[in-house]
A and B are shown apart, each in its own frame.
Chain A
């Protein structure tokens, strides 16, 4: 073989020889089986190393694929976690602010005027409301409420009956309906029931729905030092931060 070295064979295989040199090498190869064999072995070496490079590159690409997938999963997990935390906080916020103020609740409980607490009878005669009262004494609150509602359709100015109705609605946890009934009495000309109804209206509004009307009424009470409930209104105002 050996006019050609390993380096020459490498240059031939890698096509680094000039045209003339390559042609001469080709001629030599055709005449020398040993040289031909060495060239074939060099080609094989190249093919084997090419395979090695491909395998390494394939591994590298698989690692990159794993890395790409991992952050996506972490990122998704992080986004879902953040969303869950935000929802939880929103839920807590809504729950917290929907809870009645315990301090206010206690105040309202102790200063609410139920019909039984009021020791006088109204402008109307007691006989007309006796059937409703009988139902109440029998513990039939729902029937009593229905009775009073019907009664008031015929006798809308029976303020005591309306007070009893409002009181029963409150006891049945129909607080806003109770508030509305007290409001009707508060806005009426009734001398006996107006002030008490106003006070109950304010208490129920403070607990469940401090609307514009209730807000104005409370401010009017605060401004009127002669009103029977002026001092209590100040306490209520402090709890509601209304001065």
Chain B
């Protein structure tokens, strides 16, 4: 349902959101490890976002139930967050930064910087290209994209998609600094 039409995707997301037993389980884990109820809800949100990404990218392989999979994602997210908080609380200023730590403030800063630059890339697209490429990235079929955007056929949707991609490629060539910053 996540990779089907917009309405089915929204329905799926809403249903997952209302898995209250799972939400309480996640909340229990977060509270047990020093978090708060609002933080637990944030973790649940981020868990759903990660779940959505993994399903679309084919990383969820049906080995575990969806609930169990989502719970493990949420636990992973909170455990990382908790470790980060512990490191900040226990950091000894006299010791050097941990070079292998992927969640140092510097790494976080660069990740945030990259997001800002990627948003600049998105801003290079007009609304219709943004819509069509979003649906493409959500793994919708060309038929579904044509239906969502009131295009006459899957072939037309495919044509529009490549036109938008080409447009972006050309614009990126005209902004070498942006491209360089992102590499």
Q: Interface segment, A19-27, A49-57, A136-144, A169-177? A: A49-57
Type the 1/0 row for A32-63, where 1 means its CB is closer than 8 Å to any CB of B: 00000010111011111111111011101110
Which parts of B113-171 form the interface with A (CB within 8 Å)? 115, 118-119, 121-122, 130, 133-134, 136-138, 162, 165-166, 168-169
| Interface residue B63 (Cβ < 8 Å from any Cβ of A) | no
A51 to B119, CA, bound (A): 8
Provide the bound-state CA to CA distance between A68 and B121, in Å.
Answer: 34
Q: Is B37 an interface residue (CB 8 A)?
A: no
Could you say which residues of chain A place their CB within 8 Å of the CB of B137? 46, 49-50, 52-53
Residues in chain A near residue B138, CB distance under 8 A: 53
Chain B residues with CB below 8 A from A51, complex form: 115, 118-119, 122
State which of B52, B121, B162 has its C-beta within 8 Å of the C-beta of A6.
B162
The docked-state distance in angstroms from the alpha carbon of A46 to that of B53 is 12
Interface presence of A65 (CB below 8 A)? yes
Q: Which chain A residues border B45 with CB–CB below 8 Å? A: 58, 61-62, 65
Q: Are B49 and A41 in contact (CB under 8 A)?
A: no
**Least CB distance, B83 to chain A, in whole angstroms:** 23
- Determine whether A7 belongs to the interface, using a CB cutoff of 8 Å to chain B: yes
From known contacts A60-B10, A61-B45, A65-B41, infer whether A49 and B52 are also in contact, taking CB-CB under 8 Å: no
User: Are B134 and A49 in contact, CB atoms less than 8 angstroms apart?
Assistant: yes
| Alpha-carbon distance between A49 and B179 when the two chains are bound, in angstroms | 16
Q: Which residue of B lies closest to A60 (CB)?
A: B13
Chain B residues near A53: list those with CB within 8 A: 52-53, 134, 137-138
Hey, what's the 0/1 contact readout for B1-36 against A, CB within 8 Å counting as 1? 000000000100110011000000000000000000
Cβ of B90 under 8 Å from chain A: no
Structural contact, A44 and B166, CB atoms closer than 8 A: no
A134 in the interface, Cβ–Cβ < 8 Å?
A: no
Asked if A195 CB lies within 8 Å of chain B CBs, one says: no
B77 surroundings in chain A (CB, below 8 A) = none
B163 shortest CB reach to chain A, Å: 10
A39 to chain B, nearest CB (A): 11
The answer to whether A45 touches B14 (Cβ under 8 A) is: no
Minimum CB–CB distance for B55 against chain A, Å:
12
The CA-CA distance from A173 to B61 in the complex, in Å, is: 86
Q: CB-CB < 8 A to B179: which residues of A?
A: 40-41, 44
Q: Which residues of B contact A62 (CB under 8 A)?
A: 45
B17 nearest CB neighbor, chain A only:
A64
Contact of B166 among A6, A50, A54, A61 (CB under 8 A): A6
The reply to whether A57 and B165 contact each other, CB–CB distance below 8 Å, is: no
Bound-state CA distance A62–B48 (Å) is: 12
Cα-based distance from A57 to B10 in the complex (angstroms)? 9
Q: Provided the pairs A58-B49, A60-B10 are in contact, do residues A45 and B121 lie with their beta carbons within 8 angstroms?
A: yes
* Residues of A contacting B95 in the complex (Cβ-Cβ under 8 angstroms): none
> From A64, which residue of chain B is reached at the shortest CB distance?
B17
C-alpha spacing A6/B136, complex, angstroms: 14
**Which of B48, B162, B172 is A7 in contact with, Cβ under 8 Å?**
B162
Which residues from chain A sit less than 8 Å from chain B, CB to CB? 6-7, 10, 38, 40-42, 44-54, 56-58, 60-62, 64-65, 68
A50-B137, A61-B49 given. 6 additional CB < 8 A pairs? A38-B169, A41-B169, A44-B121, A44-B172, A49-B122, A52-B137
**5 residue pairs from A and B, CB less than 8 Å apart:** A41-B168, A49-B137, A51-B115, A56-B134, A64-B14
